[in-house]
Amino acid sequence: MSSARPTDDTTPLGILCGGGSIPVAVADAVIKQGRAVVMFPLIGWADPQAMARYAHHWIHVGKVGEFTRLARAAGCREIVLVGTLLRPSLKQVRLDWATVRMFPHIARSFRGGDNHLLSGVARIFERQGFLLRGAHEVAPEILIHEGALGSKAPSARDEADIARGLAVLAATGEFDIGQAAVVANRNIIALEAAEGTDRMLDRVAALRRDGRMRVPEGVGVLVKAAKPNQDHRFDLPAIGPSTVEGVARAGLAGIAIVAGEAIIAEPQQVAKRADDLNVFVAGVRRQP
């Protein structure tokens, strides 16, 4: 569902930044291609220290009019929305009139699951004259590729767990929920819904601590994919060093992600952390 039009590299790319290290990874990849970037860090999510290196304007969630004015003044025509953005509490939202005028659209977007919500957000930006791009379009090198990232690769048993995980994710895909599962010895230990991958890994660690997992340490795989029909312009799953640490704490063998369907911020650090903790990180193919 990505746009077919090539990106326009004569204008600076506007990056609306949530939390985590991915906004910076995207910015650096774009700059390396010779294109300018202007960061629009969201107050309460983006990391102030990381922003210092770039042209940036802090924005409150909810201020569509202010963002539009600043982004136009900076010459931006294409924007990318990237980084973690846990559902903001209403206390953190600041409104301006442009936002208020969009309330009917926003209200409509809040019905249905996450895909629906985010498609609504895309339409809101497009009504303001911007083109919403995906991080995978402007910086394809941040997507995970097929094969092992560090020095450890999945074993035959891990491959069986990966196949099982991909199968259960295919079954739940149509329900517009988090696409991650933990599988150990072909048993499905955990399925992600609204809680997110980190909390799911914490749960697996707790099950292991409480003796409620029958498999030894080092058995089991976190399997991740993008939602089917997900608009890849936002909300592609992302993994970083902290995901690797969560997998190690849960006593799992590694992480398998459908190649091209997740952002991998800081690949060198992820590979190093994976090697240090003796877990694998592998891009895999969806089964036919």
Q: By the criterion CB under 8 A, which residues form the site for a second copy?
A: 86-87, 89, 110-113, 164, 167-168, 171-172, 174-177, 181-182, 185-195, 199, 203, 207, 211-214
| Least spacing, CB of residue 206 vs a second copy, in Å | 8
Alpha carbons 40 and 46: distance in angstroms, whole number:
9
Q: Are 134 and 147 in contact (CB under 8 A)?
A: no
| Least spacing, CB of residue 161 vs a second copy, in Å | 13
Closest CA to 255 of 265, 270, 233: 270
| Least spacing, CB of residue 257 vs a second copy, in Å | 19
In this complex, which beta carbon is closest to a second copy, that of residue 53 or of residue 214?
214
| Least spacing, CB of residue 171 vs a second copy, in Å | 5
Q: Are 257 and 136 in contact (CB under 8 A)?
A: no
In this complex, which beta carbon is closest to a second copy, that of residue 111 or of residue 288?
111
In this complex, which beta carbon is closest to a second copy, that of residue 187 or of residue 229?
187
Q: Are 142 and 264 in contact (CB under 8 A)?
A: yes
Alpha carbons 156 and 73: distance in angstroms, whole number:
55
Q: Are 66 and 60 in contact (CB under 8 A)?
A: yes
In this complex, which beta carbon is closest to a second copy, that of residue 10 or of residue 91?
91
In this complex, which beta carbon is closest to a second copy, that of residue 153 or of residue 168?
168
| Least spacing, CB of residue 193 vs a second copy, in Å | 5
Burial class (CB in 10 A: 0-12, 13-18, 19+), 172: middle
